[in-house]
Amino acid sequence: MTNRVAPSLVEAEVDTFGYLYSDVEIAITGSAEPGRAEVYWETGASGQRPNIFRHNLLRDFVCDDTALRILRGISGADLQAVALLRLGELPLTVVRADPVLDVVDEARSIPSEYSWARIGFPHIRQELWGEVGRRIFHLPYPELSTTVVVGAEVRDAYRSAGLTGWSLEPALVDPDAY
């Protein structure tokens, strides 16, 4: 059966949950001893620690052990662990979504208002929703290179586990909405 629910664009909920920061050299080069790189947390409006953080210098995101287990359990090899960090005594993993999938329907997407970019908001082709249901990926457009997309099954696992840190918006455009 084909999944009839659109994939979602991921945004870090920085206003609500804050963000991580660290020494620039450690964040960029990973030069600290593995698992020893200390990060610091600038809290957001909620004051609550999320499961998934945004780091001010890293492309994708940083997960606690619970989020990493759940997301890898559903998406498998799409999510790569690239470094170990710690926030006080809390171990964290820097993760990267490696796949870049060409799944955007450019004709239905909202064009960019900027001349250097083609897409302002992507519409994922509906016939591919089922195929990307368990995926965490990027899109092949320079203007969207930092945008992480998750399939519906990943989104559902995130929500049902009660994970926090992400805001999820369906990657579809209603042609009557604009």
Angle of helix 152-160 relative to helix 65-75, nearest 10 degrees, comes to 150
pLDDT tens per residue across span 5-39: 999 999 999 999 999 998 755 555 555 555 568 89
Residue 16 sits at φ, ψ, to 5 deg, of -80, -45
- Whether 176 is in a domain gets the answer no
In a domain, residue 87? The reply is: yes
Structural domains of the chain, count: 1
Structural domain for 35, as ranges:
8-170
Compute the distance between CA of residue 154 and CA of residue 99 in angstroms, rounded to an integer: 15
Residues 143-153, mean pLDDT to the nearest whole number = 94
Measured over the CA atoms of residue 5, residue 61, residue 96 and residue 58, the dihedral's sign is: positive
Mean pLDDT of 40-46: 96
The mean pLDDT value of the chain amounts to 89
Structure tokens of 93?
Answer: 């993993």
Is 177 a domain residue?
Answer: no
Residue 2 contacts residue 129 (beta carbons within 8 Å): yes
Residues 97 and 79 sit within 8 Å (Cβ to Cβ): yes
Of 40 and 30, the structure prediction assigns the larger pLDDT to 40
Q: What does the pLDDT read at residue 2?
A: 45
Assigned domain for 42 exists: yes
Residue type, 74: I
The answer, yes or no, to whether residue 1 has pLDDT greater than 70, is no
The reply to whether 2 falls in a domain is: no
Q: Is residue 3 part of a domain?
A: no
Residue pair 50/165 in contact (Cβ under 8 Å)? The answer is: yes
Q: Decide if 16 contacts 42 (C-beta within 8 A).
A: no
In a domain, 107, yes or no: yes
